[in-house]
Amino acid sequence: MGIAMMRAASATILGLGLAVPMSGLANDFSLGLDVDRVPTAQLSLPACNAAIARGAAALGYATRVNRDQKTLITHVSGPPQDGRALIAYCIAAGTYTAWVVQAFDYSGPNLTEPQRIATRVSGEIRKAIKPAAK
């Protein structure tokens, strides 16, 4: 998958993830989002997935779905009580591994906690990145 295909796939995923707020329900929840990519040599799909699981577990989230489809891994988790959700993707895109981390809080709009959660989980992914080979 080339860079153009990766961008199109990311846009599709983001579009799906943001379809609800765009439909007029944005006042019902808050969203935190982080998207990035690195060379696959520095971060494999399994390493990306393991980092997401570590980040979610550190937040006390229970994994509800963890599906590996070879080029796309989907992780869905949340706290034991309702009101929040973490949806994250690791995507094989040619020579890159990309990720999308979405944190939702359904208790209201304009909350800062979802962005803090998305940043924390993405931080676990960034810690898993190996240094670039020289």
Q: Regarding the domain delimited by 30-128, which CATH topology (the fold level of the hierarchy) does it fall under?
A: Double Stranded RNA Binding Domain (3.30.160)
Provide the pLDDT for residue 81. Answer: 81
User: Which of 119, 90, 91 minimizes the C-alpha distance to 103?
Assistant: 119
CA separation for the pair 40, 103 (Å, rounded): 24
DSSP letters, 59-97, are TTPEEEEEEE-SSEEEEEEE-SSSSEEEEEEEEEETTEE
Q: Give the start-to-end residue ranges of the domains of the chain.
A: 30-128
Provide the pLDDT for residue 83. Answer: 87
Backbone angles phi, psi at 69, to 5 degrees: -115, 30
Provide the pLDDT for residue 134. Answer: 77
Provide the pLDDT for residue 34. Answer: 97
Per-residue pLDDT of the chain (134 residues; tens, 9 = 90+): 444 444 444 444 444 443 333 344 456 899 999 999 999 999 999 999 999 999 999 999 999 999 999 999 999 999 988 789 999 999 999 999 999 999 999 988 999 999 999 999 999 999 999 998 87
